[in-house]
Amino acid sequence: MTNVLHSLIGPRVPADELRAHRGRYLTPTLIFMIARVLLLVSIFFPYWHMELDAPQYPNGLFLTAYVNHLAGDVREIDGLNHYIGMRPLGEAAAFERAVSVWMIIAMFLLVEGAAVIHSRWAVLLALPAATFPVGFIVDMHYWMRTFGLNLDPEAPLSSSVKPFVPTVIGEGGIGQFKTFAEFGAGYWLAVAGSVLIVIGFVFHRRAYKPLLERMRQERRAVS
């Protein structure tokens, strides 16, 4: 049982080794710390913005998506979408918004755990946080596609609008409606955290792989 636990957690750094190469072992820990803080802070910033230009609204309509709620001209955009048969925005990713904050907190703790584990298993702990920005895009595209391709055939303008996939990023639109979408500061904070996690594992491997190999050699010598 002890051997299995050591294999999962990885080797501990001897005190003399830590004193001699403190920077080598503190670097991945510091990088992981910054990465998880960026991910946590991203909760408070917008992940996505969209501007919609419509003839009825010469100044445009604006929608901002945080990980846990929507802000901006949601009611007005829902009113326009109703005419083409699209469901209300609040119905999209309702579950994801409900659990997002707790999910990010969980990823924060997992990355903290990855800094403590000195074996390859640390990658599994940090994988959700490292892939979170990609997952956000995939989930958003799924809901955009689901809403755009399943328009209500009984809607007032259903005969003039064919099912379509709204644009997640960049310029798009349908009929007289034009949109421009871009990622917000929260998303880029999450991306920065993801990149730092990858960089952190480069230093993590460089620091702890030699110790792991030494530990294996000592076990073989004893056996």
pLDDT in tens, 143-167: 999 999 999 999 888 778 888 899 9
Centre a 10 Å sphere on the Cβ of residue 38 and count the other Cβ atoms it contains: 22
Q: Structure pTM? A: 0.89
**DSSP string over 75-136:** HHHHHHHHHHTPPPGGGTTHHHHHHHHHHHHHHHHHHHHHHH--STTHHHHHHHHHHHHHHH
Which residue is it, tokens 């074996």? 119
Distance between CA 32 and CA 26 in Å, rounded? 10
pLDDT band at 74 (very low <50, low <70, confident <90, very high): very high
Least confident of 11-20, 130-139, 164-173, 180-189: 11-20
Residue 222 confidence (pLDDT): 63
pLDDT band at 176 (very low <50, low <70, confident <90, very high): confident
Residue 174 confidence (pLDDT): 80
Q: Is the pLDDT of residue 7 over 70?
A: no
Residue 1 confidence (pLDDT): 39
Question: Which residues, in sequence order, are CB contacts of 137 under 8 Å at separation 6+?
Answer: 168
Residue 221 confidence (pLDDT): 65
pLDDT in tens, 15-66: 787 777 788 889 999 999 999 999 999 999 999 999 999 888 889 999 999 9
pLDDT in tens, 89-137: 999 999 999 999 999 999 999 999 988 887 788 899 999 999 999 999 9
Residue 116 confidence (pLDDT): 87
CA geometry: angle at 102 spanning 101 and 103, to 5°? 90
Q: Where are the domains of the chain?
A: 23-222
Secondary-structure class of domain 23-222 per CATH: mainly alpha
Centre a 10 Å sphere on the Cβ of residue 186 and count the other Cβ atoms it contains: 23
